[in-house]
Structure 1
């Protein structure tokens, strides 16, 4: 039991943090001082791009994405941003979870939000930028896009030199930078850089920092290089510890990138590679001993549960989730908790409650039958017994409502609203759900 619970929060960084309000459900059209977004279908956008001979700036967002909300509020109405983007691009927005946005997000392998896609009038992807880095970041992004002809000339020469076997370290660094500017993968170049390093330079702080800052994927030689070098940094001085942190952050980032890519492309092969590389990373970070097989399995299951949830594969999700809920999480007893120190017992109960809630809520969202929802009710009830939070009460209420237990659902939803108000959380969605329960 403890083996599963001990790492329940390991994958939290893989889940995008959700807010209930962000973009409106329809595309945002800024006033004339900012970006003017084209209205119409994707086919219409490309036709307009051909007519004006301009690339398309496509903002791919979701309704729950906090950075999307900030970008819409800060950057899109900004006159400088508007001037640059309205002159040089046909601007368009799509919700990745609605309408044409679903297919286009999949077509362009969008895994994070917001994602800016710069697309030629013929529909080919020219450039991609992920995230929101402020007004200046958007202006720089547009400048990089407009500078592409020069960069492409530089890249073409670099491509040719690399294929012909040029492995000068300074060249490889410049080539990596050019590829990064064009949002091209750098895996093979970074691996070649490691191969070309003289032995006496391989463990220097400069080398390790550079490789860490450039690393993009765990499915590379560079990932293994950092895993091998990290345990050799023995000094306890601040500089050495900062280097260990830089390396550890890079390894975690690479795993996150691969997991997001696996989800975006529904790639189970990449998922399993990511799981194996996560185990390598964990083993490298352990000061003493190695993980037991049960711990490896628990970690792998957490990855798979998140993958199947995000790819909406409920059949495979249920195969893993149900035994965990029934055979591990539901068997935690009050007696077991009292044998632990008070703080430890509380942490364990909260972890179990959260895991049961996650499984129950996924059954609520993806389940297809009353039997699924009835099983989820049992787990939701247990999560509330362990920790009476507004999120858990809300899931419980929605499950009750799905099963036709209207009065019980209304009472639970009212309690969810009260608990949310106690901790200062927004309750608009909860109140809308309550109104819907009462109205039907």
Structure 2
């Protein structure tokens, strides 16, 4: 009977493997760019950040976001208060002031500081050569993030030279992601 129930759930689609973004480190993404150029999408988060956790739970598990990010970017998960060593533009970024005994907020990683990250979550886009394109600060729903993912992937951001151009782009953008 137990095997029959398992078969029923599998056959009827009640059990499905959740789609996941294939996160990597910044060093891995930069190395991957050397072999196959592709833009980088970085999620800069902290352990204590509530909106970061919501972004993980809601947006980064949305099937449309997962599929688009995995196909078009090297996705990077970066703890902006962590201890990861990052080798970027001939410099090694660390977090020498990190305190493992500290609860809650910790020292900001020097790489987050170099990227001028001022709030969390921050999603940072890099071009195919590892140069910073732009940060997007704050929680975004799948539909809110979609415009940035597609605009940057398609290089449309290069045409948006002023606020009016952005407003026109935003008005004409047609979303295809589900919430």
Q: How high is the TM-score relative to the length of structure 2? A: 0.64
Q: Residue 137 in 1 paired to residue 137 in 2? A: no
Larger Rg: 1
**Gapped regions of structure 2 (runs ≥ 5):** 1-16, 85-93, 95-108, 170-179
CA contact (8 A) 1:151 1:178 kept: no
**C-alpha displacement at 1:83, in angstroms?**
0.6
Q: For residue 177 of structure 1, what is the aligned residue in structure 2?
A: 164
**C-alpha displacement at 1:126, in angstroms?**
1.1
Q: For residue 158 of structure 2, what is the aligned residue in structure 1?
A: 152
For this pair of structures, how many residues does the alignment match? 130
Question: Structure 1 residues 68 and 111, CA, compared in 2 at 3 Å: closer, same or farther?
Answer: same
Q: For residue 70 of structure 1, what is the aligned residue in structure 2?
A: 54
**C-alpha displacement at 1:43, in angstroms?**
2.6
Q: Residue 36 in 1 paired to residue 42 in 2? A: no
CA contact (8 A) 1:50 1:121 kept: no
Q: For residue 41 of structure 2, what is the aligned residue in structure 1?
A: 57
**C-alpha displacement at 1:154, in angstroms?**
5.4
Alignment partners' CA distance in 1, 2:166 and 2:111: 24
Question: Structure 1 residues 132 and 181, CA, compared in 2 at 3 Å: closer, same or farther?
Answer: farther
Moved runs in structure 1, 4+ residues, more than 6 A?
179-182
**Gapped regions of structure 1 (runs ≥ 5):** 1-30, 156-174, 183-440
More strand by share: 2
Question: Structure 1 residues 132 and 122, CA, compared in 2 at 3 Å: closer, same or farther?
Answer: same
Q: For residue 82 of structure 1, what is the aligned residue in structure 2?
A: 66
**C-alpha displacement at 1:129, in angstroms?**
0.6
Q: For residue 215 of structure 1, what is the aligned residue in structure 2?
A: none
More helix by share: 1
Question: Structure 1 residues 47 and 181, CA, compared in 2 at 3 Å: closer, same or farther?
Answer: farther
- Give the structure, 1 or 2, with the largest relative contact order (CA under 8 Å, sep 6 or more): 2
Alignment partners' CA distance in 1, 2:36 and 2:51: 30
CA contact (8 A) 1:81 1:139 kept: yes
* Equivalent runs, 1:378-393 vs 2, <5 Å: none
